[in-house]
Each structure stands twice: as C-alpha cells, then as structure tokens.
Amino acid sequence: MRCPNCGKENADDAKFCQMCARALAPSYIAPDLVVQRTQAPKSESHTLAIVVGIVVLLVVVGAIAVMIIATAPKADLRADLSYSAANDLPGLIGSGTIIVYGTIYNYGDKMGDGTVQLHIYDGYEWHDYSSPTGVVPANGSVDFFWDGDFDHMYEDAVIVQHTITMG
C-alpha cells in the first residue's frame, strides 16, 4: 500500500506508514488514535520574538541610565566652621550673641548648594537653626556667617554642632 502523504510503499496490511507514520487505513483505527502534527502559527513566533526584543531593549536602556547616574558629577559639601559667644555683660549669666563663621567647601565636580543645620547649646538648652550654604562652585568654597541673639546664655558653656544637608 502506497502512503498518500509521502509516497513510501508499505505492506498491504500496514496500518501506519513506515516513513512518516501517517495512518494508512483510518477506517480500522479509532479517531482518537490518529495523531496530527501541527506547527505554531508564524504570527505567534513573531509576537514572542518582538516581546523578547522589547524586554532586552528595556534592560539595556535601564542599565545605561544607571551607569549615567552613577558616573554623573556630584557636589560634596563640607564645612570648616568656628564660633564665638559673648554675653552682653561679660562674666554674668544673661543675654548674649553667638556667631558661627567659617567656610563651606565643595570637594565635588558639580556646583552645589545645601543647608547648614546648626545645633546650639546656649548653656541652658539646645536650639536648632537652618541656614542655606548658598551656591558653592565645583572644587570651590564660600564663606559662611550666622549669628543669633539669646535671652539667656552662659558663654563658657556654649556648644555649637553642625551638619550639612544637600539641597
């Protein structure tokens, strides 16, 4: 019996082609035993390739963005500050003035500005103040000056602490 699919000559009583496995006598075989091979439509293959391509593109673009951000020039502000305190009546507890002065340095490669956070103890209690640094040029510096009047101050006990927040 010749296979109608591939043309291979098979034995007369053969139920399947020896070459391509096609059923030769479907009338003797239950329909659920006949197996047909199918291929995925080409449009599904193309859609999958497009989706994979888009995902790869997004990963590459994201990696490039992270590298750009990580290597971008940044400002690096630091302060060298000093202070002085003086009572209106020297040697006595009373009102007075605290002056904070010094230099804000930018050790970075980008112009930057920030805020100097001052934490001041006047001899009785702690006070918090904020003062902008102004724009500090890349690899440059700016002078800093801040003063405050206090109703109750003991100049021998004054403590001034500072931090800089980038802004």
105 plus 90 within the same structural domain? yes
Give the total number of structural domains in the chain: 3
26 plus 106 within the same structural domain? no
Query: Which amino acid, 161?
Result: Q
Run of H or E residues at 70: helix 42-71
23 plus 92 within the same structural domain? no
Half-sphere exposure of 152 (CA within 13 A, CB side): 5
34 plus 55 within the same structural domain? no
Cα 13 vs. chain centroid, distance in angstroms?
A: 72
Q: Band of the pLDDT at 124, cuts 50, 70, 90?
A: confident
What radius of gyration do the chain's Cα atoms show? 42
Local structure of residue 88 (DSSP, 8 states)? S
Instruction: Summarize pLDDT for 8-63 with one digit per residue, the tens.
Output: 888 888 888 888 888 886 554 455 555 555 555 556 677 888 889 999 999 999 98
81 plus 157 within the same structural domain? yes
The share of the chain scoring above pLDDT 90, in percent, equals 41
32 plus 57 within the same structural domain? no
Q: Do β-strands 126-132 and 114-121 pair in parallel, antiparallel, or remain unpaired?
A: antiparallel
145 plus 127 within the same structural domain? yes
126 plus 95 within the same structural domain? yes
CATH number, domain containing residue 92: 2.60.40.10
84 plus 108 within the same structural domain? yes
Distance between CA atoms of 161 and 121, rounded to whole angstroms? Answer: 9
56 plus 22 within the same structural domain? no
Helix (H, G, I), strand (E, B) or coil at 85: strand
Question: What domain range is 46 assigned to?
Answer: 39-71
